[in-house]
Structure 1
């Protein structure tokens, strides 16, 4: 082969590999995330390079007493300007950090590696600006939070105040209570991965996603007691293309809460309890429109909970919940394993209203285990009956002598091998025909 031809071949090889590496570089972050999610025993594989920014190098003390808030913000700003930066919270430290917003967009993907512990302040002065979130990640495109570390919201102080009706300074206490923040919140972000970390003792929600797309939560742990108020494990709203799996969620409210505007949600291999189960809703409060579709919850355990799998809507709301499946769910000591409540009310009294969020095409298959109150409770609206429900292979046994019959009201569909309480066919006032264009999703 002539020397000119050899040089030409070498040039082509270099060009091809250069373009390949450039393309892989653009996709590498996403690829690693998907590989990590493919196995329940896998760990996140990341590249430690020269773009690691350690919080201790910019002033964070990590002694559990010094306020490291400004240092964390400085580190974020530095990482945000780098290519594929790793923000490192090292192990063997405890960082006291107040409310922060990690604002994007950043120059490229961010790896937020949490190996140490981060704790929230309990001093009311730290929350004087009344933030609704402790750690707020906003407008990011490609971010992963991963590591063996823990975010501790030190929520006991908030929960205690929520129970105190009479205090020496009731006004101060009421103001303090109104601040109760979410531990970690993502807003308006794309391609978000949360893996391996633990959030415990949060004042309110543990992990919240709002107006986000392409979310992956894997091997995630929440740990708050059963009596901690409104401490949802994972709260979703206006978000789509979400996968949550192989996680342990203990809290004082819903382990997973799916709110309006959500679609393409996959929840599986969840250990839920204590808590209020895995819920869609509540939806339609204050006569608002709510739309939820294409939700799958499967291969999960729910124990010591008030509910198993639940759909809850307020009277007066409009919209629709459709294309939902709950399958292969094992329950243990759950009050109501299967629950649809279109008369949801978290106050002492709620006024009766005629309209409701239309619930259709919901499948319950292979829900097994024990209940302590009612095996199946389907309370659907008189004006907006539930249609196309399916109860398949439902095997639920009472705990002790608490055996009660299933309850089904205005619930239409098919059933086989287990609970029988659905009405066959379709209702006379079929919502699929009576809903106005404004009510439809």
Structure 2
């Protein structure tokens, strides 16, 4: 399904990206040099390892003196590519990776032995990168899902290290656009230690039962815009991790999946700094969560200046959700946490214009720490009803402080 591009007030950074103040997203010029992977020996039969051809094409493009060199993965072709890093910096200020065909990961976990099983494809240290083309990254993750320790904790020999499909690491001023990513073994797209990144018009799918297959995960990054995308996976549609700021998520259709999540934060007792996170115009369909913030009891630091606005819900299990009490029990399960004196301070969080239906009784659930309260929470123009005829929904708050305005249904449980 092709998402419809919408225009909104996205801020100076987003406008710079969309309207082309850096040229990576502009139409190709006559001076462009094409580096087709077929010209570098790719067999494109879906069975032969084409990694060397992809590596050679990238190295040639990255070292080219021309403006906007482009690696081309041609249409109607299937390429098998093993774990590979596309290393920058490149000589040109802009470089394109145009995927029109299908790039396939090895389907059997056994062939990853001796290779980097944490990540499949990595773009590292590139400035002015454009990944585009209406092609597909196929992670072939089903055999990995059957080995996942998180899904099969009692299995002997289960896998704790599972590859992330598409990794953007230490990149700047870059765009991922109009790409399909399917069936990743773990996260589909990760933006890590990067800045000024635009992710738009994405189509990300995996079965609802597939473990840890987040659509887009952002961590240790600043100035990231996720826009106009359709995401249906077995985990978070979009997740935002630690040391991230100025993140905007808008015009996303999410479901199935676990919603849009900030966190989990502070798992290792570290100090968290997450701020200026804005989620708007997201439609949740049958997800296990809507808008969620989750932090570990032992974490420190803060998550602040967060907004969730203009959200629609269709049979969502936990529409508005904060859990500040993540912990691990001795048996590896979570929940029933003993009180701790530590906690990530969650503050200045706005929920505005959130409407639709809940599949759970508690439509608003704010489970904040007894030691480090949630403060500055605002609820306004909330109207959530049960998806079951004749049933009522409730709100439940623990140590959550703030104000409400306009219609708030179910009734606000915030403390002043």
Contact kept in structure 1, 2:340 and 2:371, CA below 8 Å? no
2:4 is matched with none
Picking from 274, 283, 289, the partner of 2:265 is 283
Gap regions ≥5 residues in structure 1: 1-29, 38-42, 426-441
- RMSD over aligned CA atoms reads 2.0
How much has 1:178 moved relative to structure 2? 3.0
Picking from 384, 404, 418, the partner of 2:408 is 418
- Comparing 411-420 with 215-224, greater Cα deviation is found at 411-420
Contact kept in structure 2, 1:182 and 1:205, CA below 8 Å? yes
How much has 1:60 moved relative to structure 2? 0.3
For 1:151 and 1:48, the matched residues in 2 are separated by 28
Work out whether 1:63 is the aligned partner of 2:30: no
2:397 is matched with 408
Gap regions ≥5 residues in structure 2: 1-13
Equivalenced residues, count: 385
Picking from 129, 133, 137, the partner of 1:151 is 137
2:341 is matched with 354
For 2:283 and 2:364, the matched residues in 1 are separated by 17
Work out whether 1:395 is the aligned partner of 2:379: no
Contact kept in structure 1, 2:377 and 2:400, CA below 8 Å? yes
Match runs of 1:232-251 below 5 Å:
232-251=214-233
2:82 is matched with 98
Q: Deviations over 1:28-73 (max 9, x none)?
A: xx99952279xxxxx9633364511000001001111111011111
For 1:206 and 1:47, the matched residues in 2 are separated by 31
Picking from 150, 160, 164, the partner of 1:182 is 164
1:270 is matched with 252
1:260 is matched with 242
Change (3 A) 1:166 1:239: closer
How much has 1:421 moved relative to structure 2? 2.8
For 1:379 and 1:339, the matched residues in 2 are separated by 8
How much has 1:399 moved relative to structure 2? 1.4
Work out whether 1:340 is the aligned partner of 2:322: yes
Picking from 121, 137, 144, the partner of 2:106 is 121
Change (3 A) 1:383 1:351: closer
Contact kept in structure 2, 1:60 and 1:72, CA below 8 Å? yes
Contact kept in structure 1, 2:244 and 2:274, CA below 8 Å? yes
For 1:48 and 1:102, the matched residues in 2 are separated by 25
Query: Of Structure 1 and Structure 2, which has the larger fraction of its residues in helix?
Result: 1
How much has 1:140 moved relative to structure 2? 1.0
Work out whether 1:192 is the aligned partner of 2:174: yes
Picking from 303, 310, 313, the partner of 1:328 is 310
For 2:109 and 2:249, the matched residues in 1 are separated by 36
- Comparing 343-352 with 111-120, greater Cα deviation is found at 343-352
Contact kept in structure 2, 1:44 and 1:195, CA below 8 Å? no
1:87 is matched with 71
